[in-house]
Amino acid sequence: MIHCYKLNGYNIVLDVFSGSVHVVDEVAYDAIEMYENQPWNDVKNTLLQKYNDREDVTEQELDELHEDIEQLRSDGKLYTEDIYKNRAFDLKNRSTVIKALCLHVAHTCNLNCEYCFASQGKYHGDRALMTLEVGKRALDFLVENSGKRTNLEVDFFGGEPLMNWDVVKDIVRYGRELEKIQNKKFRFTLTTNGVLLDDDVIDFANKEMHNVVLSLDGRREIHDSLRKTVNGKGSYDMIVPKFQHFIEKRGDRGYYMRGTFTHNNADFTKDVFHMADLGFTELSMEPVVCKPDNPYALTEDDLPIVYEQYEILAKEMLRRNKDGRSFTFYHYMIDLTGGPCIYKRISGCGSGTEYMAVTPWGDLYPCHQFVGDDKYLLGNIWDGVTNLEAQKEFKLCNAYSRDECQDCWAKLYCSGGCAANSYHATGKVTGVYEYGCKLFRKRMECAIMMKIAESAENII
Amino acid sequence: MKRIQTIDTRDLKKSLKNGGCGECQTSCQSACKTSCGVANQQCEKCVSE
């Protein structure tokens, strides 16, 4: 399978099953696209007619092009056959160890963001804080179920995790002790709205947190329209100086400014650029996840606007790279040579199998977006996974488990997509959230185009 | 090749043999939390090499 597209002046051909990327001129673009389904003689005749005014499109030239295409085919870089489909289930189930937990240390929040999928931190349940006992047991559970895996990830999440900060610090300290005994390496991350950031938090996080995710939606009026305090006031002025102070002290350690865009700011690049202009360089901006009848839900009419925004963003990032004002955008960070192997590309995020969420009282869910849904209560950190029927749905999730993905060129970039998005959009974990797919494909096209633009000065 | 330029990429078929160690980051732990993909994850082995 191939995928051909034109973007920012480049003619791009992706060979799906080898992962190869080719930049071609318009003649080769037409030839490669047609040759997938037509005999070469038909392709050649069509091209001779179409380009009859071009001196460089002769029979001899096209024969040379044919040789080059066949060379790429024999090198396994074009028209590559799918050798993974029948092995997808086994590739995903090569191991069943758990390697990441999302610890819901606080099911409560000091903001009242309208679009919060966690229902203002409570996940449609009671307010609660995780005790140190539960937190320690969660780390023990992770270690016990991690097999030979060295790197283990623990995200402090909420609600707002800083509302239970002392426990977070003690869990981290416990983790560092465990590392010495168990030969493991914890990578802790913190996701926060910033309201309670102070120097104690900043210094501890800069020492111990592998990554921090800081929530900011961009422009003041956009941020304040949905991210409000419990008194209904905007939170922008309260948090932005704290975030700037945090990042100034963080040095070269990882972080993301993470925003959510909605129907209200389908022109979200203005918010991304605003964050960049505030001095932040590691940026992420996610489409809102909500029911379609919400007034801020993205609509079909927004789609062309959002597509254009992704292109604007990619082009502006290339421009800023050149003039020394570069920033990264999470979804455009694609490493063509050091990216994920085929096992990862087929398996996906590992929700419900390698990755689980832990509630304040120690219950296990497939991921943070399923917390509070009784159907997907998998078990708890003392007894392990006991709802094997629910877990089986997640074991079956892979890049090939959805009929709708069979003809999609992007399936080895998305692995079949987010199970939670699928579930919320279709009622099935193995359903397809088509709107999200459309945005994902556009982001991938932009990301690959940027790599081409960055890697080749003298591209065709 | 006159009309085709191939960008350097990881050969996915070869990664059947040299991949699958599982040490890489879980996709959703990084920054998105709501619109997961794997394309922008890094291979832990490739990073350490």
Distance CA A282, CA A259 (A): 11
| B4 to A23: CB separation less than 8 angstroms, yes or no | yes
Instruction: Inform me whether the pLDDT recorded for B29 exceeds 80.
Output: no
Q: What is the pTM of this model?
A: 0.94
Give this complex's ipTM: 0.92
Residues of B within 8 A of A23 (CB-CB) are 4-5, 7
Return the structure tokens found at A229.
């305090």
Tell me the three state secondary structure of residue A282. strand
Give the DSSP letter of residue A350. Answer: -
Contact call for A286 and B33, based on CB within 8 A: yes
Across the interface, do A344 and B34 touch by the CB < 8 Å criterion? Answer: no
d(CA A268, CA A286): 10
**What is the interface size between A and B, counted as CB pairs within 8 Å?**
224
Q: What is the mean pLDDT of each run of 10 residues along chain A (460 residues)?
A: 97 97 97 98 98 96 98 97 86 78 96 85 89 98 96 95 98 98 96 97 97 97 95 96 98 95 97 97 92 92 98 97 93 91 89 95 96 96 97 89 93 91 90 94 97 74
Three-class secondary structure of residue A459 per DSSP:
coil
**Min CA distance, A84 vs chain B (Å)?**
9
Cα–Cα distance for residue pair A322/A313, rounded to 1 Å? 14
CA–CA distance, A371 with A365 (Å, rounded to integer): 6
* More confidently predicted of B47 and A21: A21
Closest chain A CA to residue B36? A418
B2 to A77: CB separation less than 8 angstroms, yes or no: no
Closest alpha carbon to A444 in A329, A296, A356? A329
Q: How far is CA A416 from CA A45, A235, A362, A398, B40, in A?
A: 39, 36, 29, 6, 15
What contacts A311, CB < 8 A, 6 or more positions away? A7, A8, A446
Q: How far is CA A410 from CA A45, A84, A92, A413, in A?
A: 31, 14, 18, 5
